[in-house]
Structure 1
Amino acid sequence: MVEFKALYFASARDAAQDKAFEILQIADKQPATMASALECIKVTYPKMKSVLESAMIALNERYCDKDDMASIEIKDMDTVAIIPPVSGG
């Protein structure tokens, strides 16, 4: 089992029921990957699915390529940030 810290910004925070962050667990997946972390988030918060379609994803403050999610390994207590597009003026 791998625990990771999930950070939610803007509409991701709304989808996560106003939580800014939390600790989640990926059970029985070795190695744990970014794809399994995102699946864990989607199972916990079904509304997050639409947010993730356009959000940037960061692992330990580094942006991840969406094409590489299955190969990016998550280690215990890594930080996964969900950063939706921001608009404003």
Structure 2
Amino acid sequence: MGELVKITVLFFAKSRELVGNKSSELEVKSDVRPTDLLQSIISKHNSLQILSGSLLLSINEDYVDINSEEIVSLKSGDTVAVIPPISGG
């Protein structure tokens, strides 16, 4: 437990605009709570702080409950998507 893995973080919509890139590489612990994973992403990309209360995450295309205390297991090569609130009409 606690092994570091390299993941790819994808940014969509407003998060992409704030970060200025569509993706980023990040090293995180392999076993992590979703809230800690989000905090690691925000720590690397401070511009996301203004959206921190409304971001969604998905891991390998499966949505994750940010408020869950359940540990998620990540492997090198996994993809985490950062999804901001999206409005439409």
* TM-score between the two structures when normalised by the length of structure 1: 0.79
Distance in structure 1 (CA, Å) of the matches to 2:7 and 2:71: 17
Gaps of at least 5 residues in structure 1 are none
The code of the aligned residue for 2:17 comes to: D
How far is the alpha carbon of 1:69 from its aligned partner? 5.6
- Share of identical aligned residues, percent? 29
Gaps of at least 5 residues in structure 2 are none
SS in 1 for 2:46: coil
Cα–Cα, structure 1 residues 69 and 47, in superposed 2: closer, same or farther, change >3 Å?
farther
Tell me, yes or no, if structure 1 residue 9 matches structure 2 residue 9: no
How far is the alpha carbon of 1:3 from its aligned partner? 0.4
Question: How much is the aligned-residue C-alpha RMSD, in angstroms?
Answer: 1.8
Runs of 4+ in 1 over 4 A off after TM superposition: none
The question of whether the paired residues in 1 share the 8 Å contact of 2:8 and 2:77 is answered with yes
The code of the aligned residue for 1:44 comes to: K
Distance in structure 2 (CA, Å) of the matches to 1:49 and 1:19: 16
Q: Greater strand share, 1 or 2?
A: 2
Distance in structure 1 (CA, Å) of the matches to 2:69 and 2:52: 12
1:11-30 correspondence runs (5 A): 11-16=14-19, 18-26=20-28, 29=29
Q: C-alpha deviations, 1:55-78, integer Å up to 9, x for none?
A: 211010000112226512222111
The code of the aligned residue for 2:54 comes to: S
